[in-house]
Amino acid sequence: MRGTMMEFPLVLPTLLQRAGKILGDTEIVSYRPDKSSTRTTFLEFSRRARQLAQALAKLGVKSGDRVGCMMWNHSAHLEAFFGVPCSGAILHSLNLRLHPQEIAKIVNHAEDRFLIIDDVLLPLYEKFADDVKFEAVIVVPYGFASVPEGFLNYEEFLEEGRGESPYPRIDENDGAAMCFTSGTTGFSQGVIYTHRSLVLHSLSCAMVDCMALSHHDTVMPLAPMFHANAWGVPHTAVMVGSRLVFPGPNVEPEHVLDTMLREGVTIANAVPTVWINVLDALEKNAGRWKFERPLRVICGGTAPPVELMRRLDAHNIHILHLWGMTETSPLATLGRLRSRMREWPEEQQYEIRAKQGWPAPLIELRVMRPEGEVPWDGVTPGEVEVRGPWVAGEYYKAPDQAHKWTADGWFRTGDVGTIDSDGIMKLVDRAKDLVKSGGEWISSVDLENMLMGIPL
Amino acid sequence: MRGTMMEFPLVLPTLLQRAGKILGDTEIVSYRPDKSSTRTTFLEFSRRARQLAQALAKLGVKSGDRVGCMMWNHSAHLEAFFGVPCSGAILHSLNLRLHPQEIAKIVNHAEDRFLIIDDVLLPLYEKFADDVKFEAVIVVPYGFASVPEGFLNYEEFLEEGRGESPYPRIDENDGAAMCFTSGTTGFSQGVIYTHRSLVLHSLSCAMVDCMALSHHDTVMPLAPMFHANAWGVPHTAVMVGSRLVFPGPNVEPEHVLDTMLREGVTIANAVPTVWINVLDALEKNAGRWKFERPLRVICGGTAPPVELMRRLDAHNIHILHLWGMTETSPLATLGRLRSRMREWPEEQQYEIRAKQGWPAPLIELRVMRPEGEVPWDGVTPGEVEVRGPWVAGEYYKAPDQAHKWTADGWFRTGDVGTIDSDGIMKLVDRAKDLVKSGGEWISSVDLENMLMGIPL
């Protein structure tokens, strides 16, 4: 028997409207390539995102159409994060670090009808323009370059969307955003996040025991927004009203440190290499940057070495290790301590924090070998499988993908790991990161940890 | 176009399995009527809840059947919270404070097939037993009373459910739990929470800016579990792995204070009268109880007076004002400060904290008058309307209920309030709480605030 709750779909227009109506005074800071900054508010952002949705509708964008975007992390990218899906279309964030021919292949595979692009990225676009055909290319005046002939100016385009027509009816299982996997072996695969999966992932990121994103935080998304939506941080920030500081293309350690202190950043996310560079800058310039308030750092992509965590802790910068993939939205597990572990010796605590950790609520893990599930003993390795409401169930129009999912519906990550009696998972390695030396396979994780431990 | 995420329903078996597999060592403490305590773990709880589900299936309980329960707050009630819905049935928690004839009416209206009841509540059951017909009554040996002839013993009943058969297939919109409104005017109305609404409400309660329930908390649900599921606290605690301390029927202030200190409680919830009594005990016994760590208190039901919050703050007990109703699961709004308000003078901060506050993510509010929505000016009163994924869309088999929902799908609360430009809502009054004096209507909220402000 059905319950008596009202039907209320989990869709992005709900978050966007909330951002404008309830959280309108929240600030968004965006850095330009020249390191100057612009400031706007959630009120203005929500108005512009709505105009984008309405202008796209006028342009002829239909529900389910893919709209490509090639942008650095800044406020117009956030407008696209919400404006495109609120029009009923799917935002396809393109990885601008790929080879131009690879980008063209992905655009054609996704059948992107339109492109929104930063002016400063037009030179990259020119490298593959002949291999794709967008019906229109909308250029964001982000780096003060002028918009060339034959392109639409984003600011003028937004003017087309003035007014307040209601959003189109969106089903929560409709596609909202599309990302391709990094595809180190073979062709990248497309994943289409749904409105539902993005809303659930955002609720999850705002939980105390997950990322703990709060209205009182100032958040700096350093992970690119084309990498699994900057790990869900921008969507979550819009939902809870965190102040946002977008770095643009500037992720050099000195600039990052200057900006974090100047803007009062309380939480930031990036891969370990960024934090290794940050640590290096901190250690080479003793006393130049001082974090009076703790800075929380979400670190993923690969495992952060223990030595990195330890040394950053000394600077009041505290790494939280997140594990996930494009296929998992990405939040799957977190290297957080269990309650009783807070009494443990420091060394053991670091060991736990460096592991991939235990699954977020609603995410389920198991580790499999050909003969069945491995015991949760922390030593028996097998392939890590995952399922949950924000895990991909298939790739977009991919031939020969069936082997990536089990018959009973789990996603096979291709990663090899162990799981212990607390459900804490540790990757022994990613298959692709194994290093062969002297005829033996060496785990790159162990290697990296050892290297970081050598005194400089 | 649909996205490519896997189908993964939001259902309670997911939370129950997680509790056993990942959070098995988390402790549950239950106090008996004689104030002795029993201790168990999430592992044991999840095993027993599963056995309850399987024993109910053997007894013939079918999907959608209502199973009544009449219990104090303790671990067996938590087992029913999960075991009954995981069997596919609906747990109907009966309000044992109602008149026995009213209970009988509600049981008959809900067509409860079975009853789970604490042994110590059998005398209450006898008062309406002739007016209802359960197919079986299952008695929990909670207060050491013996189980009389003609009843099933809960412990023996659980034995029937040994083994591990898979849970039945549950749709996320299936009913999971049923509560009736307090019904101060006319007959109480039934609301059936769905698996989906309970899971979403739990995600929400665990968010930093909502209740902020964490794995590192020790939670004491003082609000009765038959009042809107103790405001979602038990479900959330099971999801995140908070240590649980159940008070049983003991809510006298001295016992509550003793227990909170002995068990290291970090968060508790109850109506203002409980905290008024607690404050009274604290002030009459200076130095007897000392909270070294802050105690967070979720306070709802009616608005907590400012003076209560101020005096409890002095004891390191910090009220968070929650507003909601049975029809809203109940979390709708929270009297939390906006970021910029943390710089405000203390007095103004208390004013904000005493208001009903701003809506949780996914909850939408508006204030209506016959001529349309009122401006968000903080002064124009109107009827508060609410909608969201955990708000009721209808009452269970109620005639003449259409006027409680608007044509466009909002729930009409019957409360009169204002809303300001931050979306912060303040109830001017509940219609039923208005006091008439000297020919004028006086707001009971203002009256209570004034009375609390008089020095004793």
**Residue of A283, A253, A294, A290 whose CA lies nearest to A270:** A253
Q: What is the phi-psi region of residue B273: left when phi exceeds 0, alpha when psi lies from -120 to 50, beta otherwise?
A: alpha
Q: Nearest CB to B207: which of A22, A206, A394?
A: A206
Q: Is residue A377 part of a domain?
A: yes
Find all residues with CB under 8 Å of B440, minimum gap 6, and list them. none
CA distance A437 to chain B (A): 37
Query: Residue A429's pLDDT is what?
Result: 72
Q: What is the spatial distance between Cα B194 and Cα A6, in angstroms, rounded to a whole number?
A: 10
B25 touches chain A (CB under 8 A): yes
Q: Residues A99-129: pLDDT tens digits?
A: 999 999 999 999 999 999 999 999 999 999 9
B8 touches chain A (CB under 8 A): yes
Q: What value of ipTM does the predicted structure carry?
A: 0.95
Residue tagged active-site, from B327, B383, B385, B448: B327
DSSP B22-56: TSTT-EEEEE-TTS-EEEEEHHHHHHHHHHHHHHH
Q: Nearest residue of B to residue A386 by CA position?
A: B6
Asked if residue A309 and residue A443 are part of one domain, the reply reads yes
Q: Residues B55-104: pLDDT tens digits?
A: 999 999 999 999 999 999 999 999 999 999 999 999 999 999 999 999 99
Q: Which helix (H) or strand (E) holds A25?
A: none
Q: Nearest residue of B to residue A193 by CA position?
A: B3
B361 contacts in chain A (CB < 8 Å):
15, 18, 202-203, 206, 239-240
Domain boundary residue, one of B150, B169, B196: B196
Q: Nearest CB to B5: which of A202, A208, A391?
A: A391
A148 touches chain B (CB under 8 A): no
Q: Nearest CB to B339: which of A64, A216, A388?
A: A216
Reported confidence tier of residue A448, pLDDT bands at 50, 70, 90 = low
Reported confidence tier of residue A438, pLDDT bands at 50, 70, 90 = low
Reported confidence tier of residue A420, pLDDT bands at 50, 70, 90 = very high
Tell me which residue range forms the domain holding A434.
251-453
- Answer yes or no: is pLDDT of A440 > 60: no
Residue tagged active-site, from A26, A40, A41, A181: A181
B203 contacts in chain A (CB < 8 Å):
200, 203-204, 207, 361-362
Q: Is residue B32 part of a domain?
A: yes
Let me know how many helices (H) and strands (E) chain A has, helices first: 14, 23
Asked if residue B260 and residue B179 are part of one domain, the reply reads no
Query: Residue A164's pLDDT is what?
Result: 83
- Concerning whether B155 is annotated as a catalytic residue, the answer is no
Q: Nearest CB to B203: which of A192, A203, A340?
A: A203
Asked if residue A188 and residue A271 are part of one domain, the reply reads no
Tell me how far CA of residue A278 lies from CA of A36, A253, A297, A444, A455, in angstroms. 21, 5, 12, 22, 17
Would you write out chain B's pLDDT as a tens digit for each of its 456 residues?
A: 999 999 999 999 999 999 999 999 999 999 999 999 999 999 999 999 999 999 999 999 999 999 999 999 999 999 999 999 999 999 999 999 999 999 999 999 999 999 999 999 999 999 999 999 999 999 999 997 789 999 999 999 999 999 888 899 999 999 999 999 976 556 789 999 999 999 999 999 999 999 999 999 999 999 999 999 999 999 999 999 999 999 999 999 999 999 999 999 999 999 999 999 999 999 999 999 999 999 999 999 999 999 999 999 999 999 999 999 999 999 999 999 999 999 999 999 999 999 999 999 999 999 999 999 999 999 999 999 999 999 999 999 998 899 999 999 999 999 999 999 999 999 997 655 655 565 555 666 666 666 676 655
Do A387 and B8 count as a contact with CB atoms less than 8 A apart?
A: yes
CATH number at residue A68: 3.40.50.980
Domain boundary residue, one of A145, A169, A194: A194
Q: What is the spatial distance between Cα B409 and Cα B163, in angstroms, rounded to a whole number?
A: 44
Find all residues with CB under 8 Å of A3, minimum gap 6, and list them. B90, B173, B174, B175, B176, B192, B193, B194, B195, B197
Reported confidence tier of residue A445, pLDDT bands at 50, 70, 90 = low
Interface of B with A in 41-60 (CB under 8 A): none
Asked if residue B190 and residue B338 are part of one domain, the reply reads no
CA distance A211 to chain B (A): 10
Do B207 and A207 count as a contact with CB atoms less than 8 A apart?
A: yes
Asked if residue B189 and residue B315 are part of one domain, the reply reads no
Interface of B with A in 163-182 (CB under 8 A): 171, 173-176
Query: Residue B449's pLDDT is what?
Result: 66
Asked if residue A289 and residue A151 are part of one domain, the reply reads no
Asked if residue A182 and residue A61 are part of one domain, the reply reads yes
B437 touches chain A (CB under 8 A): no
Interface of A with B in 78-137 (CB under 8 A): 90
Q: Is residue B88 part of a domain?
A: yes
Interface of A with B in 255-314 (CB under 8 A): none
| Count of domains forming chain B | 2
Do A192 and B5 count as a contact with CB atoms less than 8 A apart?
A: yes
Q: Residues A4-28: pLDDT tens digits?
A: 999 999 999 999 999 999 999 999 9
CATH number at residue A406: 3.40.50.12780
Residue tagged active-site, from A133, A135, A156, A441: A441
A4 contacts in chain B (CB < 8 Å):
175, 190-192, 392-396
Do B208 and A18 count as a contact with CB atoms less than 8 A apart?
A: no
- Answer yes or no: is pLDDT of A97 > 90: yes
Residue positions counted in chain B:
456
Residue B406, Cβ density class (10 Å: 0-12 exposed, 13-18 middle, ≥19 buried):
middle
Do A6 and B239 count as a contact with CB atoms less than 8 A apart?
A: no
Do A396 and B4 count as a contact with CB atoms less than 8 A apart?
A: yes
Q: Residues A29-86: pLDDT tens digits?
A: 999 999 999 999 999 999 999 999 999 999 999 999 999 999 999 999 999 999 999 9
CA distance B14 to chain A (A): 7
Reported confidence tier of residue A436, pLDDT bands at 50, 70, 90 = low
- Concerning whether A181 is annotated as a catalytic residue, the answer is yes
Asked if residue A277 and residue A172 are part of one domain, the reply reads no
Query: Residue A400's pLDDT is what?
Result: 87
- Concerning whether A343 is annotated as a catalytic residue, the answer is no
Asked if residue A167 and residue A257 are part of one domain, the reply reads no
B398 touches chain A (CB under 8 A): no
Interface of B with A in 192-231 (CB under 8 A): 192-197, 199-200, 202-204, 206-209, 212-216
Query: Residue B430's pLDDT is what?
Result: 65
B347 touches chain A (CB under 8 A): no
For the record, the structure tokens of A440 come out as 């033996």
Q: Nearest CB to A175: which of B2, B7, B239?
A: B2
Q: Could you give phi then psi for residue B371, rounded to 5 degrees? A: -85, 0
Q: Give the residues across from B268 on adjacent strands.
A: B220, B297
Query: Residue A268's pLDDT is what?
Result: 98
DSSP A146-166: PPPTTSEEHHHHHHTT-S-PP
Q: Is residue A13 part of a domain?
A: no
Q: What is the spatial distance between Cα A391 and Cα A106, in angstroms, rounded to a whole number?
A: 21
> In whole numbers, what is the pLDDT of chain B averaged over residues?
94
Reported confidence tier of residue A435, pLDDT bands at 50, 70, 90 = low
Q: Is residue A142 part of a domain?
A: yes
Q: Is residue A233 part of a domain?
A: no
Q: Nearest CB to B22: which of A10, A14, A423?
A: A423
Residue tagged active-site, from A327, A383, A385, A448: A327
Q: What angle do CA B306, B308, B311 make, to 5 degrees?
A: 110
Asked if residue B400 and residue B295 are part of one domain, the reply reads yes
Do A392 and B4 count as a contact with CB atoms less than 8 A apart?
A: yes
A202 contacts in chain B (CB < 8 Å):
361
**Residue of B195, B231, B226 whose CA lies nearest to B213:** B231
Q: Is residue B279 part of a domain?
A: yes
Asked if residue A150 and residue A77 are part of one domain, the reply reads yes
Interface of B with A in 320-339 (CB under 8 A): 336, 338-339
Instruction: Count how many pairs of residues, chain A against chain B, have C-beta atoms within 8 Å.
Output: 218
Residue tagged active-site, from B181, B218, B259, B266: B181
Asked if residue A417 and residue A280 are part of one domain, the reply reads yes
Q: Nearest CB to B18: which of A192, A199, A361?
A: A361
Report the Cα B274 to chain-centroid distance in Å: 15
Domain boundary residue, one of B154, B180, B196: B196
Do B339 and A213 count as a contact with CB atoms less than 8 A apart?
A: no
Do B361 and A15 count as a contact with CB atoms less than 8 A apart?
A: yes
Q: What angle do CA A284, A288, A290 make, to 5 degrees?
A: 115
- Concerning whether B405 is annotated as a catalytic residue, the answer is no
Q: Is residue A24 part of a domain?
A: no
